[in-house]
Structure 1
Amino acid sequence: MFGLVHFLSLKFTSSCDEVANMDGSREASTNSLLNDECYADFLTEDFDVKTYTAQAIHHAVIAEQLAKLAQGISQLDKELHSQVVARHEELLAQATGIESLEGNTPLAHISLNLFVFSRRIRTKIVDPYNKIVARTAQLARLQVACDLLRRIIRILYLSKRLQGQLQGGSREITKAAQSLNELDYLSQGVDLSGIDVIENDLLLISRARLEVENQAKRLLEQGMEIQNPTQVGTALQVFHNLGSLRETISGVVEGYRTTIQDNVTTALDIKGLTQSADSRGAPGRAVMSTPGNTAAFRATLWTNLEKLMDQICAACGQVQHLQKVLTKKRDPVTHVCFINEIIKDGQPDILYTFWSDVTHTLSVEFQRATAASSFLKQALEGEYPKLLRLYNDLWRRLLQYSSSIQGVISSSAVLDNAMDLPTTETDNQDLFTHAKHDYNPEKALKDSLQPYEAAYLSKSLSRLFDPINLVFPMGGRNPPSHDELDSIIKTITSELNVASVDTSLTLAVVKNAAKTVQLFCVKSEQLLSTQGDASQVIGPLTEGQRRNIAVVNSLYRLYQAVAKVISGLGSCPLAAEHALTALMASAVQPLLLSVSDSIEAIIITMHQEYFSGSMSTPGKPDVPCSLYMRELQGFVGRVMADYFRHFQCVDFIYDNTESIAQRCITLFIRHASLLRPLGEGGKMRLAADFAQMELAVAPLCRRVSELGKPYRLLRSFRPLLFQNSELIASSPAVGDLIPYSTLLHFLFTRAPSELKSPHQRAEWSIARYSQWLDDHPSERDRLTLIRGALEAYMQSVKARQGKEFAPVYPIMVQLLQRATSGAQDSRT
């Protein structure tokens, strides 16, 4: 039965696999076999034949069980048969495919042989490889051990040498630092812990390094404090040998910067200032805490600021001394300059960095303190020149200190050759601009004062404007008095004297003074009289003229005072001077124009007098001068006495009346050349007028001989009155001194009436022609008009078929041609 069951289980399992793949038409017949409980045990994964047989014998009838099993086997056979029949073609194909396995068999043999061969090679290689790996590791350990032994031997040697160097004190400190640096190099990248032979030496080395560092720091601090470049250079060499030069220098400079910041904060602490001011009060007396209004508060403030400037100067001096030594000190082995170790990688030098930090700290702390206390702000703004003087003194001391440091270091370099401080090209360079050429250290220092300078200048301008506004009230008609002018001048002088502590501040206050003068000019201009009575020259002084004279005198006094005050300054407020002189000129201009017009009106009356007469008889001599000349002399003398003598600015008046005198002479010669007809008697009287003209214009100028070209023209023209036409045309004064047009006008007087003067030909009056000459100062325009008159005369002679021209005509034409050619040559 056991065999039957075993056979059935195998059969049933394989049949079940086939049954699971049957078509849908046979599912009904196979489901009955699969669902039968008798065969359910054969489908389990853990089916055991022995267990099933034992259970079947124990629980069921053997005969029935066998019959059931036989029936199942029979049913399975039928199913297998039906499957074989149904899948006949597929089975044949599988059987045919077995032949292809014979082609793959050689490949399998080759693969098997290769596998066996590789196993043999591996067996031959693995053992040598393992031996090589082991020997390599052994060699590496030997090398590490040898390197460690060499390090230990060197450490023991250097440790022993270090002990001797430490006993040498400061004389051997640089060598000890060099030994420590080498010991640090030997200890890098190696774990030396647990080595008994050098354990004590390592402990000694760590203690020695700490001792050397502390000793070098003390040496550096002492050397910087007493400004000893030798000690500083030794300490720097120690830190360079220890490899911590940059870190040490950064720490030292940072310490100074922190100290400066603390000092600035303490100096501007409003609580400290108030307490110090209160403590100065008398005992037993209540003290009101009003720091902005107490002298004690400000005295304490300025004492603190003076102390702060001393502290900043001392710190900057020490940092400057440190940089000087760094600039000169070189390592004796590598010959590398220490300053190059500090500023490498494009970093700025230590003094530039320190100074930038100091100026930034001053700016920030001052701004913070004044923002927190209005009393402090008022004190700094009100006494800004005093604060600026402290800054200027600080800068001056720093510059002097820089020069003294250079001398000390140079002398130390000579005395101590061991320092190796060679002279470099940076001896004469400004250390503050070593890093940046466009950096202005003095400007950086004073930039922190810009807010207080602006406030002070604003208040200064207000103080300068106050007396101006006070002496010019609204609706006032009178200029300031002498006392009021003195008050204005004293205010300007006081502001300039206070600002004299600094050149830039002085220039700024000078600009404010210029604005003050301009305001004075604006206020004074409003007082000037512009009515017609301000320019009259007929009667006595009017009220408007008196006021204008008083305004000009006040302007002149202010001009003198300002010029005196600023005479010691490097520059003058040109705008203020121009404003004063321009307003003075504007004030007297109407009167000057009126005088000039009156003089011209008097001179033009000479054409109403008789100049065509012949020589006078001996019994009736002519008067020394004409009536118009006597009137001119009287008018000029009266004007100077009645009007211009009241002006205090004598030089200014002469500067303006001299132009009137020059104009007077020019007009006199113009109209004298236009007189027509001119007899011999008229020439004599005109010659006398020429002499009297010098007397007429004398009151208008300092000296008549200083009138320049018009005076020389007056002197040169007079002799021509009595010369013939040929000599007149050939005179050397013609052209350069006497204009051709003026001489041609004079020659018209010697021509017949048919040869009309240019104004006669144009049918103009003498006054109109004179005005035309003023409007056309170009000699070319005047000669063109004269040419037209000569051409008209030539046409008239041809028209009447005249046989000859007037004797003077060819001379005039020749003179005109010479004038025209000379004008063309000058243009070329």
Structure 2
Amino acid sequence: MAGDTELIELLEGDFDQNAIVSKAFEKANSSDVFAVVSDRLSDLDTAISKHVSEHGTELLNQTVDLENFTNIIDGVESRIRSVYNDVERIKQRLTKPYDLLRSHVTRIRRLGLILDSLRKIQRISTYVRRLQQSSNDLSKASEALSELKYAFTSMDWQGIDVLEKYHVVMIKERSRIEAHAWQLIRSSSDVGDQARLGLGLQVFDRLSLLPTALEVLISERQAEIERAVQAAVDVEELTKRTKNKTASLSATTCNPGRASYPINSNAHNAAFRSLFWTGLDQLLATQEQCVGAVRLLAVTLCMKRISGGESAGALLDRLDSFAYREPPKLTDLLAVYAIQNWTNPETQACCAAIVLTLTSANPWTVEAVPDIASICALEDTDLASNARSFCDALSSSSGLLGWASACMETHFQSATKRSSHLKEAFEGEYPRLLKLFLDFWRKVATTPQGDCEGLQLPSYLLRLLQPYETAYLTRSLSRLFERVGTVVAPGATVVPEPAAMDCIIEVAATELSRAAVQTDLLCKVANNIAKMVALFATKAEGLIEVGPMASQISGPPSPAQESNFQLVNLICHFGRSLRHSVARHVRGLPAATKGSVLSPGLSGPEAVVDAAIVDKLNPLCRTILEPLAASLGDGMEEILVGMHQEFSSTPPGSDGGCSAYIQSLQGFLRRLRTDLFSRLSTPTVMSDLCHLPRRPSDGQQFYTFGEIALLDSLREHLSSCIDTFLLHASLLRPDNGRTASVPTDQAAAAEEEETLNRERIRHRLATDCVEFELTLEEQVTVNGRIPGCRLIDLAPEAYARLRAFRPLLLIPTEDLLTTFTSTPAEGTGASPVTTLSGTLVLHHAISRAPAEIPCPHTASGWSLARYVHWVLHTPDEAARLNFISHALAVYTEQVKARNQREYPAIFPIIRNLLEHFVAKLPAQNLPP
């Protein structure tokens, strides 16, 4: 129905009566709407009547209850009104006493404030009176000012006439005392009066101006140092003063009627450098004064404590658990101030000044303050972060001297870029610059005077000087190389004269003399000299003559040998003179630098030059002399081979003289000594015989003379020659191992003659051993005239074998086995014979045997020369014993093949000796 639709619209949430009425009139159905409404109202009346009739009793009861509740509410309201009236009456009775009491309380409170103000006024008056009475005593006056400041800050004093007057007095006295304290600090810093300086610092601390005062003091010192640095390297001012100085010198030398000459550039440069070095001296003197003043300031702050009347409790807020057991030092208070204000931009300068002061003399450490050390261990808080940053700044700071070094480094680099004169002064005269800084550091270093010799420049001063040291060493190396290039020109074929080498030594001596201000610099210059030695060795290598004529020994010296001998003498003269020059300058070092510790990576000057001489010049001398030494060794071996032919053709007599081959060897060596070796330089005076020490690492000698170089080159050849002699002597047999057939009736006589002949050969060989040793001593080592160059020094092992071989020749055959197998008696050492190798002993034992026992090389079909060469070049004793064992095995098979009933009497001795020597070999070297 349409009516139901309109009724539904009446229940919607956006009900609008005007809209519904307008809609009804628009549709022209308002009568229908009225009808629907009337019907609904009738239905509602019917429903209400029905509900009332059905629930009448309940509705009546509820009406009665509601009436009763209304009566109760009215009763409560009347009671509340009665209570309110009672309260109003009580309030009226209490108001007057309350107002009276409140007025009394207010009066008492205000009287208390007045009393407190009067007490403070009395206290201020007392402090003012005390201030006026102790105006000449800075300590008491500053303490009174400190109390006055606290008193004024604890009350509102403005508007009180007497306090305003007192405040004016305080301000005036504060200004006067502050000025007096500044005067006291500055005057005491200049004269080093620590007591007065401490008093001034304590005054500033009581005035709460200590950080600010410290900032001012450090700023003044920094400004003073910076002005001195700028004045020392002010190129324009130095040039102006140089012109004035040269002009005044020119005016003083120009008299009336006398011609005047313009000042040359050398005089101008000399005047410029003189003024520069004078300014640098003044700069370091200023720095010394400033550093000393700041160091005195730091030490005084560290020693001065807060007076006993002041608070000695916890320094930092929020750290009440950390307290001092004694009054803190002023340095501790400054550290606390820096930590509390570390991140404040307005106090950055004060904090920097505090750090600079505390690290200028190292009198203070963070561990000395329990509060700060405890803060650093706390969790991450702003205060702990500030404390750690402060500690890091302390550890990285180098004090005022480090700041001054950085300032000098900046201004010096800028000045050297702008002025070539300054660059030349810094780099060309670096030793003088270094000496100035060394003297300066000895004066300002905190090391006790007893340790002054071990002082080293700190890292910041080394960093300042490093560019100029590098440039100076580069120039020094260029000067050394230039002199070597002048003496030994590229492509030169003529050996320079010793006088030309003296020029190189003079340049090296000059460089060493300049660098003698410090051991480190002397070592670095010595490294340059070592490089110069290497360059000289490289250039001298091109002067070596090679070829057959350089190694011939058959006649007088060839031109090539003469040139090589001259070159060896020149090299030895160069090395000897260079070592003497270095040693002289090391001995001439100042006493303060002799005991100084070398920087890491540096060796001593003498050690550096000695290493260069041994590593560069010694191999060069050996390269030159090696062909001649090899020819000498070959010639000696050719002569020694002749002993077999000599003893085979001519049996030895009983005259006791030496053999012909020994005489040939003597003549050969005598001719070489006269014709060739005499060209080499030798020590001539007793001072030359003072042998220079050997290198600890490899024991090589310094070739101070050509003779020493020759003898050192002959080491291996002398050992080989002695071993060759011993090997040939051990293999020597009258029949050289060949079996001779004789008639049966003459066999006994022949055997007796052969035995006698062998005895004579052994005695002659014993004599030859002595003569051979004397020949080498006399003709090769010149009777050991040069210390360290005797035969026992040049070939110690071979010499010992030569000495031990002679007794072996004289041992009876029947005692050979017991000599080597028996144990020496208690208290007696082993015989030298037992040190000989088994090969030599077995060779000699076989040489004593009858001809039917062949020599080892004969049994194997080798020639004597081949076998000797093989033995000399086979160091493995097991292999050599195995070869001899094979030869004896061949002989044994031959005996069995001949059905020979018995062996010669010496064969068991030879066999047992072989077994003895094989048993002595190490297990891994035993022959198969």
Distance 2:458 2:567 in 1: 45
Q: Is the 8 A contact 2:242 2:268 kept in 1?
A: no
Instruction: Evaluate the alpha carbon distance shift between residue 482 and residue 116 of structure 1 in structure 2; reply closer, same or farther with a 3 A threshold.
Output: farther
- 1:260 pairs with one of 205, 220, 225: 225
User: 1:675–1:429: structure 2 CA closer, same or farther, 3 Å change rule?
Assistant: closer
Q: CA deviation at 1:693?
A: 0.7
Question: Which of residues 807, 819, 823 in structure 2 aligns to 1:719?
Answer: 807
Greater alpha carbon shift after TM alignment, 695-704 vs 376-385: 695-704
Distance (Å, rounded) in 2 between the aligned partners of 1:338 and 1:288: 60
Aligned to 1:213: 178
Q: Does 1:278 align with 2:294?
A: no
Instruction: Write the distance in 2 (CA, Å) between the matches of 1:684 and 1:735.
Output: 16
- Match of residue 474 from structure 1: 490
Cα separation, 1, equivalents of 2:333 and 2:510: 54
Contact 1:461–1:516 under 8 Å retained in 2: yes
**3-state SS of the aligned residue for 1:805?**
coil
Shift of 1:606: 2.0
Q: Which residue of 2 aligns with 1:84?
A: 37
With over 3 angstroms needed to count, the CA separation of the structure-2 counterparts of 1:402 and 1:700, relative to structure 1, is closer
**1: CA distance between counterparts of 2:48 and 2:546?**
142
Matches within 5 A, 1:550-699: 550-568=566-584, 569=586, 570-572=604-606, 573=608, 574-578=610-614, 579-611=616-648, 616=653, 624-648=657-681, 649=705, 650-657=707-714, 659-677=716-734, 679-698=758-777, 699=779
Distance (Å, rounded) in 2 between the aligned partners of 1:111 and 1:528:
142
Q: What is the CA deviation profile of residues 340-372 of structure 1, one whole-angstrom value per residue up to 9, with x for unaligned ones? A: 334457856241421221111111111111122
Distance 2:46 2:569 in 1: 142
Q: What is the CA-CA distance between 1:780 and the residue it aligns to?
A: 3.2
Q: CA deviation at 1:738?
A: 2.0
For the 8 Å contact 2:874–2:880, the answer to whether it is kept is yes
Q: Deviations over 1:498-552 (max 9, x none)?
A: 1111222111111111111111111001111222221121222122222211211
Identify the residue that residue 307 of structure 1 maps to in structure 2: 282
Find out whether 1:164 has 2:252 as its counterpart.
Answer: no
- Report the 3-state secondary structure (helix = DSSP H, G, I; strand = E; otherwise coil) of the residue aligned with 2:831: coil
Q: Taking structure 1 as reference, are residues 200 and 822 closer, same or farther at Cα in structure 2, changes over 3 Å only?
A: same
Amino acid at match of 1:590: P
1:826: Cα distance to partner?
A: 12
Deviates most, 814-823 or 211-220: 814-823
- The one-letter amino acid of 2:815's match is L
> For the structure 1 residues 274 and 80, does the alpha-carbon distance in structure 2 shift closer, same or farther, using more than 3 Å as the test?
same
Distance 2:28 2:892 in 1: 161
Distance 1:590 1:116 in 2: 148
Instruction: Return the alpha-carbon distance in structure 2 between the equivalents of residues 562 and 117 of structure 1.
Output: 131
**Secondary structure at 1:730's aligned position in 2?**
helix
Return the match for 2:399 from 345, 353, 362.
353
Show the 5 A alignment for 1:138-537.
146=112, 149-150=115-116, 153-154=119-120, 156-170=122-136, 172-188=137-153, 190-282=155-247, 294-333=269-308, 334=312, 335-343=327-335, 347=355, 349-351=358-360, 352-399=398-445, 442-537=458-553
Shift in Å, 1:722: 3.7
* 1:810 match: 908
For residue 474 of structure 1, what is the amino acid of its counterpart? P
Instruction: Kindly provide the amino acid, as one letter, of the partner of residue 228 in structure 2.
Output: N
The answer to whether the aligner puts 1:706 opposite 2:792 as a matched pair is yes
Contact 2:246 2:268 in 1 (8 A): no
> Would the alpha carbon gap of residues 743 and 21 (structure 1) be closer, same or farther in structure 2, given more than 3 Å must change?
same
Query: Using a 3 Å threshold, how does the CA distance of structure 1 residues 268 and 17 change in structure 2: closer, same or farther?
Result: closer
In structure 2, give the amino acid aligned to 1:355.
L
- Shift in CA distance, 651/134, structure 1 to aligned 2, threshold 3 Å: farther
Note the residue ranges of structure 1 that are not aligned, 5 or more in a row. 1-15, 31-74, 405-427, 434-439
1-side partners of 2:814 and 2:469: how far apart? 77
Residues of 2 paired with 1:113 and 1:798: CA distance? 164
CA contact (8 A) 2:131 2:145 kept: no
Q: Match for 1:706: what amino acid?
A: I
Query: Which piece of structure 1 moves more, 151-160 or 214-223?
Result: 151-160
> Match of 1:790, as an amino acid?
L
Range that drifts further, 260-269 or 692-701 = 692-701
Q: Which has the larger radius of gyration?
A: 1
Give me the whole-angstrom Cα distance separating, in 2, the residues matched to 1:209 and 1:300: 47
Specify the code of the residue in structure 2 equivalent to 1:700: V
Alpha-carbon distance in 2 for matches of 1:264, 1:627: 87
Q: CA deviation at 1:491?
A: 0.4
Aligned partners of 1:709 and 1:737 also within 8 Å: no
The aligned amino acid for 2:678 is R
Identify the match of residue 770 of structure 1 among 868, 882, 885: 868
Q: Look up the SS of the partner of 2:515 in the other structure.
A: helix
- Deviations along 1:547-578, whole A, 9 cap, x unmatched? 21121111111101110111143532243222
Matched residue type, 1:81 = F
Q: Distance in 1 between matches of 2:465 and 2:174?
A: 47
CA contact (8 A) 2:24 2:33 kept: no
**How far is 1:464 from its partner?**
0.8
Offset of residue 664 of structure 1: 2.5
Query: Partner residue of 1:39?
Result: none
How well do the aligned residues superpose, as a CA RMSD in angstroms?
A: 4.4
Superposition deviation, residue 26 in structure 1: 4.6
Of the structure 1 ranges 685-694 and 575-584, higher mean CA displacement relative to structure 2 is found in 685-694
Which residue identity lines up with residue 914 of structure 2 in the other structure? L
1:49 maps to: none
- Hey, what's the Cα distance between the residues in 2 that align with 1:116 and 1:793? 161
Decide which moves more: 109-118 or 757-766.
109-118
Tell me, in whole angstroms, the C-alpha distance in 2 between the residues paired with 1:124 and 1:792.
153
Aligned to 1:417: none
CA 1:705/1:473 → structure 2, altered by over 3 Å: closer, same or farther?
Answer: closer
1:116–1:811 Cα change, 3 Å:
farther
Residues of 1 paired with 2:197 and 2:404: CA distance?
A: 23
What is the CA-CA distance between 1:147 and the residue it aligns to?
Answer: 6.5
Partner of 1:545 in structure 2? Answer: 561
User: In structure 2, how many angstroms separate the alpha carbons of the residues matched to 1:275 and 1:543?
Assistant: 65
Query: Partner letter of residue 514 of structure 1?
Result: A
Q: Distance in 2 between matches of 1:116 and 1:638?
A: 161
Structure-1 separation of matches of 2:176 and 2:439: 42
The 2-side partners of 1:491 and 1:111 are apart by: 130
What SS is found at the alignment partner of 2:494?
Answer: coil
Question: Secondary structure at the residue paired with 2:921?
Answer: helix
Counterpart contact for 2:633–2:717, Cα < 8 Å = yes
Take 2:838 and 2:801, find their aligned partners in 1: how far apart are those partners?
Answer: 12
Give the whole-Å Cα distance in 2 for the aligned partners of 1:581 and 1:243: 75
**Rounded Cα–Cα distance in structure 1 between residues aligned with 2:98 and 2:430:** 87
Q: Is the CA contact (8 Å cut-off) linking 1:555 and 1:580 kept in structure 2?
A: yes
CA contact (8 A) 2:225 2:404 kept: yes
Which letter maps to 1:729?
L
TM-score by length of structure 2 reads 0.70
